Amino acid sequence: MHRLILMRHAQAEASSPSGGDETRPLSGVGRNEALLMGRALAERGLKPDLALVSSAVRTRQTWDQMHDALGDVEVRDEPRLYNAPAEVLRCFVEDSEDEAGCLLVLAHNPGVHVLATEYLTESAASPAVLERLTGGFPTGAAALFTVDVAGRCAYEGFLTPRALGGGA
């Protein structure tokens, strides 16, 4: 793997018809966020070879909105990514490092935010970069990393729908 994209699902409705958190769908804003992020990743040449997607409705719908911009990507629905902590997300990344040149992990906070911050700390990212992520990891945001041959992640960028002209 030479690139890693850690992404949080786009904005979801506050509740679902079933009342369960896992079945909350994207809001109208969320559908637009996901479209925007898919295009932004594609424009930057960040097309994943493999996308690991939480089985929650909102993450699946985020991927569905992004798909057209990113084209043919192997997608795996991963129930264990639903509200997974950073340690679990890290295991998925490490277990997939030989399967993809560019890996996308599409999951939930706080796990995505915590793992992105851990990677920044481990790579001795600048205080300005750390401060940027300390401010939060909004819906639809993606932390971008390059990965060296030893599997170390280095900060490449942070995209948010709002910074790209979308979002709530």
101, 147 Cβ separation under 8 angstroms = no
Report how far Cα 168 is from the mean position of its chain's Cα atoms.
18
Strands 74-78 and 50-54: parallel
CATH superfamily entry for domain 3-159:
Phosphoglycerate mutase-like (3.40.50.1240)
Q: Helix %, strand %, coil % for the chain, to 5?
A: 40, 20, 40
For 65-114, the pLDDT digits (tens) are 999 999 999 999 999 999 999 999 999 999 998 999 999 999 999 999 99
For 103-135, the pLDDT digits (tens) are 999 999 999 999 999 999 898 888 888 888 888
Is the pLDDT assigned to residue 18 strictly greater than 80?
Answer: no
CA distances to 13, 38, 139 from 27, in Å = 5, 17, 11
8, 37 Cβ separation under 8 angstroms = no
pTM, two decimal places: 0.94
CA-based end-to-end distance of the chain: 33
